[in-house]
Amino acid sequence: PQSLYNLLTQNNPDSDEPFVTYIRAYNQVLAFTSLCVNLDKELANAKKGVYTFRIQGALYHQIG
């Protein structure tokens, strides 16, 4: 997203310092995603070409 790109690339230390200081914490919070899948073993067996992982349903992301 443009807003994150701006935070990472701007050269004004007064405005981007809080983001850069806590960038690891932001990454840890946003990186956790929980998913529940029904694995299609025939599709994911990799015996016939490339390994394929198909998700049907929803991804849940909990912040906090």
Say yes or no to pLDDT of 16 above 60.
no
Q: Are 63 and 26 a contacting pair, CB within 8 Å?
A: no
- Rounded Cα gap, residues 57 and 40, in angstroms: 13
Average pLDDT over residues 7-18: 67
Say yes or no to pLDDT of 28 above 70.
yes
- Rounded Cα gap, residues 17 and 15, in angstroms: 6
What amino acid occupies position 29? V
Q: Whole-prediction pTM value?
A: 0.33
pLDDT confidence of residue 32: 66
User: Nearest to residue 43, comparing CAs of 34, 35, 33, 53?
Assistant: 53
User: Nearest to residue 23, comparing CAs of 34, 31, 11?
Assistant: 31
